[in-house]
Every structure is written in C-alpha cells, then in structure tokens.
C-alpha cells in the first residue's frame, strides 16, 4: 500500500509540474513511464503472492471493494435506528428575498 501511495504522489507531482510548465516533456514522459513500470511490477508481485496465498486474495478483493466505494464502514459493529445519514447530504434553501446583512438599517422583513 505504501508503494501505491508513493507512486500516486509522484504522479500528482509530475502532473502539477506539467501544468505549471516547470518540467520538460521528456522528463515528464520518463517519470510517467517509471511510475507505470513500478505499478506493473507491483501488480505482478501481488498476483504471484495471490496465487501462493488464497487468504491474501480475499483481503485484496475486500480492499478493492472498499476503495471503489464512496461511503464505507469496513469491519464495523455500528448499529443505528431512526433517520440515519451516512455520506453526503445536500441541503438547498430557497428564499423569496435575499438580504445583505452588512447594509441593512431599520429593515422591515415582512
């Protein structure tokens, strides 16, 4: 997992350098290729370990399902009742009139 985070950080950094124009095209391509190679090597290693250890395969599948989900509580014993909200909640409020509080003197809100 540390290796994946490291490569993700490298990728984010090179993308930022590309956006800012602080890296040459050749250097950016070299870094992207190094990242791709490192991730492919990591996948090969994981696949080898997966074949040798079936328990690892189950753990990886569980981790993948968690990372592909937006809202996850893994291995939890949480119980709840009533109106429970987990995740994003968007509240929209509408008003007929909008007031700038900084500029109101003796206002009538009726």
- CB of 51 closer than 8 Å to CB of 45: no
Q: Which is more confident, 9 or 69?
A: 9
**43-91 pLDDT, tens digit each:** 899 888 888 887 877 887 777 766 656 666 666 666 666 676 666 666 6
- CB of 74 closer than 8 Å to CB of 62: yes
**Per the domain annotation, does 82 fall within a domain?**
no
Structure tokens at 32: 């992207």
**Per the domain annotation, does 13 fall within a domain?**
yes
Mention every residue, 6+ apart, whose C-beta is less than 8 A from residue 35. Answer: 7, 10, 11, 14
**Per the domain annotation, does 45 fall within a domain?**
yes
pLDDT for res 56: 78
pTM for the structure as a whole: 0.50
**Per the domain annotation, does 101 fall within a domain?**
no
**Per the domain annotation, does 75 fall within a domain?**
no
Does residue 106 have a pLDDT over 80?
A: no
**Per the domain annotation, does 16 fall within a domain?**
yes
Tally of domains in the chain: 1
**Per the domain annotation, does 71 fall within a domain?**
no
Which strand (E) or helix (H) includes residue 82? none
**20-30 pLDDT, tens digit each:** 999 999 999 99
- Domain of 11? 1-57
Q: What is the CA angle 66-36-12, rounded to 5? A: 70
**Per the domain annotation, does 35 fall within a domain?**
yes
DSSP state of 103: G
Structure tokens at 81: 């009742």
d(CA 79, CA 85): 13
């Amino acid at each position: 997992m540390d290796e994946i985070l490291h490569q993700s950080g490298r990728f984010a950094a090179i993308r930022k350098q590309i956006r800012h124009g602080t890296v040459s095209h050749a250097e950016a391509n070299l870094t992207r290729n190094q990242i791709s190679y490192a991730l492919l090597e990591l996948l090969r290693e994981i696949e080898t370990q997966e074949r040798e250890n079936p328990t690892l395969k189950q753990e990886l599948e569980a981790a993948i399902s968690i990372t592909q989900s937006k809202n996850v509580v893994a291995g939890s014993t949480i119980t709840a009742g009533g109106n429970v909200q987990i995740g994003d909640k968007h509240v929209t409020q509408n008003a007929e009139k909008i007031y700038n509080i900084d500029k109101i003197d003796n206002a009538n809100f009726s």
